Structure 1
Amino acid sequence: MTAGHDECDSRVVFNAVNGSCTFAIPNFSQAQCLAVGQFLASEVFAAGGYNWAIRFYPGGRNPADSDYSSVYVELMSEASDVRALFMLRLEDQSGNDNHLVFTHFDYSLVNGPYTIMYGNMWGYRRFLKRDHPDASHYIKDDCLTLQCTVGVVKARLEGPRRYRVAVPPSDMGRGLNALLDSGLGTDINFVVGDEIFKAHKMILAARSPVFRAQFFGPVGDRNIKQLVVEDVDPSIFKAMLEFIYTDEFPDVGEIAGSTSRFASTNVVLHLVAAADRYGLNRLRLLCESKLGKQITIVTVATILALADQHQFPNLKAMCLKFATNPANLRAVTESEGFKHLEGSCPSVLSELLLAVSDQHSR
């Protein structure tokens, strides 16, 4: 008796899904006055289903590289195991077409003396020496132009399969969100500012302990038909409802009406307050993760105050580390957010100053 076996003729095919961005830096002579560690960021652009941005450090990212400019490509989306190809091109604006081209072929590896990974960033810490004899070739009308192309590597299996049952991804969130949008079966109205949002008590109670107690707790009122919500912007309340129904982080760019990092950070700050108010712990942690990627000279003081107020120890530690970095400290203390700390959060300010003192004493 011989045992039979199935044969499979298949192969894995790789291809790259590309996206690109042109990043023009006007008033370049003024930009070179930025301190070490300060950067200019491009608008967010899409490639392969992920969001990316360019970070350009005119004075270098670290003190050891202060004779050079540094440039990085940053993965803005929450993701793991992303494999991508990168090309950075510094445009030769002298008309000789001697463009500087830098390439990298694997997001997960570091090659060469000038490439380096920092968390979710890849790039060159010594991109262009500021006194390079040909540096002027790349500047025209005091403007420097960078072009970036990102190709996200996708893999797919090709070939016949003897038995195959196609199982689609879960669409529960989409179905519940459609139910929310349709208003079918709703039994509670929320009056938020000038807007009214209809929802379902049972779904809200399943996702939020605050709503569960409000509608079905010992002192709750399951017959209530309308609630007035104060101190929450309607767009934030709507985003929170969508999270409750879909379990997906809202599109903060759509809520803010802008792709700027400052506007996105402001939306996330308001979402944290809403998440705390209604006991949405997963939304809290998603906000903390997002804010950890949005720490800059401009935002660090505001995020630090929020991390202290809402008890985000990891986020607070990240802010203190960034703010006390010698490359950032002066710019942070001159920012509007720092001035706000002086007036409204003296305990947080004291903690920041203590961290600076500890660092100097080492």
Structure 2
Amino acid sequence: MAIPSHHRTDVRALFELTLVDQIGKGQDKVHTRGGRSRAALYTLKYRGSIWGYKRFFKRSGLETSDYLKDDCLLVNCTVGVVQSHTEGPKIYRIPVPQSNMSQHIGHLLTSGKRTDITFEVDGEMFPAHKVVLAVRSPVFRAQLFGPMKDKNMKCITIEDVEVPVFKALLHFMYWDELPDIEELTGLNTTWVSTLMAQHLLAAADRYALERLKLLSELKLCEDVAINTVANTLALAEQHHCYQLKTVCLKFVALP
């Protein structure tokens, strides 16, 4: 049996050859290759693959057997092609919850336990964990664990970043998501949301938080407005946000 030329992939199959008893005694000679086990299956891997038996039946025995009648043999060949994958009814149902790893890390910040570094922003103190900051930001990694680190450093003063912005920055580094701006600032206006996104864009670029930078850029693209577009355009130019720059320029060009 040779594999047809149009086959391009492996074909797994089992087959059965039967010499039919033509006298009528019902004593057919059956040979089977393959079975239920995976190892028993034959695979046609390339064009010209051949199956068969080198010693199926001795000619001396065949000539005097009941399988030969009027110098003719009757041979039945049955081939079954085996699917590579069989879907059966599932007898199990194991619900797997969504990953909550960010919640575990986030609770480190909210609990305030085992902190080893403190940030001072406008006189307000923010305890944190060096290892989390180092993993999230290459800038903090260099500052806290680099060759120029201060081994006795316990407090870092942050300048040019306002308290709500630094809170949002810390929240993102622990939770990997933006905080609720209304809950953070006590205000719920588009202008406040845009202003926060502008500050976060600058802070994200400063601390090399690429995902936060992209989220801020996306937010600013969605909320471009006449009273904020000038500052947003300047930020886009300064921090190399080319899509945001294009959005701002198109907005300004509108009649």
2:169 aligned partner, one-letter code: M
Q: Does the 8 A contact of 1:177 with 1:242 survive in 2?
A: yes
Secondary structure of 2:248's partner?
helix
* 5+ long unaligned stretches in structure 2: 1-34, 37-81
1:289 aligned partner, one-letter code: L
Secondary structure of 1:311's partner?
coil
CA distance in 2, matches of 1:222, 1:261: 43
1:297 aligned partner, one-letter code: I
| Aligned with residue 243 of structure 1, among 147, 172, 182 | 172
Measured after TM superposition, the shift of residue 310 of structure 1 is 1.4
Q: Deviations over 1:286-326 (max 9, x none)?
A: 10011000012222222111111211111001110111022
Measured after TM superposition, the shift of residue 230 of structure 1 is 1.5
Q: Does the 8 A contact of 1:180 with 1:245 survive in 2?
A: yes
Task: Please tell me the root mean square deviation across aligned C-alpha atoms, in Å.
Answer: 2.0
1:281 aligned partner, one-letter code: E
Counterparts in 2 of 1:89-168, with a 5 A limit? 162-168=91-97
1:278 aligned partner, one-letter code: Y
1:325–1:187 CA distance, 2 compared to 1 (3 A) = same
Measured after TM superposition, the shift of residue 222 of structure 1 is 3.8
CA distance in 2, matches of 1:253, 1:303: 21
Equivalent in the alignment of 2:101: 172
Structure 1 residue 203 corresponds to structure 2 residue 132: yes
Structure 1 residue 313 corresponds to structure 2 residue 250: no
Q: Does the 8 A contact of 1:256 with 1:264 survive in 2?
A: no
Counterparts in 2 of 1:215-294, with a 5 A limit? 215-294=144-223
- Across the two proteins, how many residue pairs are aligned to each other? 173
Measured after TM superposition, the shift of residue 5 of structure 1 is 7.0
Secondary structure of 2:120's partner?
strand
**TM-score under structure 1 normalisation?**
0.45
2:124 aligned partner, one-letter code: E
CA distance in 2, matches of 1:197, 1:212: 18
Equivalent in the alignment of 1:330: none
Q: Does the 8 A contact of 1:235 with 1:255 survive in 2?
A: yes
Identity %, equivalent residues: 50
Q: Does the 8 A contact of 1:256 with 1:267 survive in 2?
A: no
* 5+ long unaligned stretches in structure 1: 8-160, 327-362
CA distance in 1, matches of 2:197, 2:181: 7
Measured after TM superposition, the shift of residue 194 of structure 1 is 2.5
2:125 aligned partner, one-letter code: I
Q: Does the 8 A contact of 2:202 with 2:235 survive in 1?
A: no
CA distance in 2, matches of 1:255, 1:308: 28
Greater Cα radius of gyration, structure 1 or 2? 2
Q: Which of the two has greater strand per residue?
A: 1
1:183–1:5 CA distance, 2 compared to 1 (3 A) = closer
Secondary structure of 1:189's partner?
strand
Measured after TM superposition, the shift of residue 255 of structure 1 is 2.5
2:114 aligned partner, one-letter code: G
2:224 aligned partner, one-letter code: I
Secondary structure of 1:196's partner?
strand
Q: Does the 8 A contact of 1:255 with 1:267 survive in 2?
A: no
Q: Deviations over 1:99-150 (max 9, x none)?
A: xxxxxxxxxxxxxxxxxxxxxxxxxxxxxxxxxxxxxxxxxxxxxxxxxxxx
CA distance in 2, matches of 1:305, 1:220: 33
